[in-house]
Amino acid sequence: MVVQVESRIRYSNKRMEANQTKVEANILLLGAENVGKSALTVRFLTRRFIGEYGSIDTIYSHHDKIDGRDICFNIWDSLCPQNAEEPGHISQRQLQWADGLILVYSICDRASFNVVRQQVQYIRQAQQKLSSSAPLIIVGNKRDLQHQRVVSSEEGRLLALSADCGFFEISAAEAYHGVLMVFHELLDLIREARTIKKGTAGFRGIVRSMSAVFGRKRTE
């Protein structure tokens, strides 16, 4: 079973993207060590759960066709820096690269939930400075380990709501479907964010044209 909370803002942008043939999305996975970032990535790419993944920091490219459109997912499966003082550190390069982010914690690991909380705060502040609107999805993984649960669904959902993020609880070990939903939801949010950005740029263009016209009138 997958628990999901929709992000607050949803617009249908599929028609507006109709003239684009290919969509490319850079997706960054973040979170503490051992929460299942690689398991999620590999599940999405191969539909399989292989158990052990090693610790590697890699960007994978994955081509797909969704609603008749070619999609290229670039997925950065990151490593949490081994820095006890700043476990949630995110580099500027990562933030500038990402069109959308997946923040993963384990429902059995309170410290990993705290890392995600810290990362969400950091990203939202940094995004204000960078004027970035890359969407975020929080994922509580290892849902199959109910007997070891220490973070409730409610806590995850509340954190997501407070920072306007999507939210899912899944088990990368048990099922492919939940993982697929996470990536597809994030793709939808990325496309919506792009549509809004384009709309804002268009509106700014109209304002600029109008001021040019009125400006000229004044000097005539």
Q: Decide whether 23 or 75 has the Cβ nearer to Mg ion.
A: 75
69-77 and 3-5 beta bridge pairing:
unpaired
- Rounded to whole angstroms, the Cα distance separating 80 from 184 reads 24
Tell me, by CB under 6 A, how many residues bind ligand GTP: 21
- Scanning 5-13, 130-138, 167-175, 177-185 for contacts with ligand GTP by CB under 6 A, the matching segment is 167-175
35 is a contact residue toward ligand GTP (CB under 6 A): yes
Q: Decide whether 52 or 220 has the Cβ nearer to ligand GTP.
A: 52
SS3 65: strand
First-last CA distance in the chain = 68
- Rounded to whole angstroms, the Cα distance separating 60 from 115 reads 24
38 is a contact residue toward ligand GTP (CB under 6 A): yes
100-106 and 22-31 beta bridge pairing:
parallel
- Rounded to whole angstroms, the Cα distance separating 83 from 37 reads 18
Among 102, 171, 183, 190, binds ligand GTP (CB under 6 A): 171
Is the distance from CB of 110 to CB of 149 less than 8 angstroms? no
38 is a contact residue toward Mg ion (CB under 5 A): yes
141 is a contact residue toward Mg ion (CB under 5 A): no
Among 8, 51, 214, 215, binds ligand GTP (CB under 6 A): 51
Instruction: Report the partner that residue 122 touches, choosing among Mg ion, ligand GTP, none (CB closer than 5 to 8 A by kind).
Output: none
- Rounded to whole angstroms, the Cα distance separating 107 from 136 reads 18
142 is a contact residue toward ligand GTP (CB under 6 A): yes
Q: Decide whether 13 or 78 has the Cβ nearer to ligand GTP.
A: 78
What residues are paired with 70 via a beta bridge?
A: 22, 65
33 is a contact residue toward ligand GTP (CB under 6 A): yes
- Rounded to whole angstroms, the Cα distance separating 144 from 169 reads 10
78 is a contact residue toward Mg ion (CB under 5 A): no
Q: Which residues bind ligand GTP (CB under 6 A)?
A: 31, 33-39, 51-53, 55, 79-80, 141-142, 144-145, 171-173
